[in-house]
Amino acid sequence: GSASGEVTFERCSVTSDKGVVFTGGNYAGGIIGRCSAGGSISNCTVAIPVSGGSYAGGLVGQAYTKPFSISNSCMLADVAGTANIGGLVGAISVTGSFITNSYVTGGVTSTGANVGGLVGQMSDVAVSNSYATGNVSSTNASVGGIVGSMSKGTVSNCYATGDVSASANDSKVGGIVGNNTTGTVEYSYATGNISGVRSQVGGLIGLANASPTVNKCIAWNASVSVTGNAAGRYSCATIVGTMFPLGIATDCVRIPGLTVSGLYEETDPTSAIYHMNGVFDQDNVTADAPLKNNIGVSVTNKKIESPLKFPYHGKAAGATETLSDVAKRLGWDVAVWDLSGNEPKLN
């Protein structure tokens, strides 16, 4: 239900051996449906599926007005709904809120926008040291392995291993974040199949705009693809599907040998999107060193705004490097990450 006073849930468990599914209308959550008064959830587990309308989350449907935090908690079942759907939280949009040391193993499905493995929609929230392993899909837009849509805020030291897909035109689909406006994504990786239809699709971020930052991230995706592509309208890439050149991209690495399926092939040398086809190594991006195409020509603001077709691929890993080898090379914190295996795991 709704919480009107500050709430604290600690060491609670929501389970059933009867195959129960929690079904609600809007604002459905395995622990809290809607909270406006702030509070926290820590060391809690939900292990029954959650199904609702808008604002559905494995733990919380929506948290707003006052800061809310989730730590050391998990969702072990599926979450389904319409818009603003997340494995942990459907939507959370209060400065000072955070999610840390938490994970989701169930899948997340939606018929609406803003769908994420951990969070459907968030604004100025910090997500850290967390992961999602289930598939995330929507018949609408803004779908991400960790966050569907974010405005400001950060995603750091996170990973997603499930497939991420959207079947609607004009979607933003990313292995970590679908639609990233002004936010920061760092020290994170994704390994799933990422796909969209006539959309911005990226191994890590679908669309990054309004001066976003992506720093020391790794795209180790099984595949990245877009179908129904059209001239000058959609972009697909190993790191960021479409990235505005005023953003910052630093030391991002892709799996060696990955191709992107469905890129539109522009052959007109006078076109603003000429020489943006295929996967190619790209330098770091700053305001003083804007995004370039594969023949070294800087991308201008005018070009990036229309058409929206400027990918960011980062650079390929070495042919024999493992994902953990790359993380070590990028200086990922070994106090946070166990880098002893082929893929980094959170300590």
Between the alpha carbon of residue 170 and those of residues 1, 155, 207, 318, the distances in Å are 34, 24, 11, 34
Q: What is the pLDDT of residue 18?
A: 67
- Pairwise pLDDT comparison (229 vs 54), residue with the higher score: 54
Q: Which residues pair with 2 in a beta bridge?
A: 34
Q: What is the pLDDT of residue 342?
A: 98
Q: Indicate the pTM of the whole model.
A: 0.94
Q: Which residues pair with 166 in a beta bridge?
A: 138
Q: What is the pLDDT of residue 231?
A: 58
Convert the pLDDT of each residue in 232-272 to its tens digit. 567 789 999 988 767 899 999 999 999 888 776 666 666 65
Is residue 303's pLDDT more than 90? no
Q: Which of 42, 107, 105 is nearest to 68 (CA)?
A: 42
What's the mean pLDDT when you consider all of the chain?
89
Poorest-pLDDT segment among 180-189, 202-211, 220-229, 296-305: 296-305
Q: What is the pLDDT of residue 302?
A: 45
Convert the pLDDT of each residue in 101-136 to its tens digit. 999 999 999 999 999 999 999 999 999 999 999 999
What SS3 state is found at 305? helix
Is residue 150's pLDDT more than 70? yes
- Tell the burial category of 11 from Cβ atoms under 10 Å away from its Cβ (0-12, 13-18, 19+): exposed
- Pairwise pLDDT comparison (204 vs 6), residue with the higher score: 204
Cβ pair 119, 97 in contact under 8 A: no
Is residue 299's pLDDT more than 80? no
Q: What is the pLDDT of residue 286?
A: 86
pLDDT-based confidence at 301, cuts 50/70/90?
very low
**% of residues, the chain, pLDDT over 90:** 70
Q: What is the pLDDT of residue 4?
A: 54
Is residue 219's pLDDT more than 60? yes
- Mean pLDDT value across residues 188-196: 97
DSSP per position, 313-341 = --EEPPTT--HHHHHHHTT--TTTEE-SS
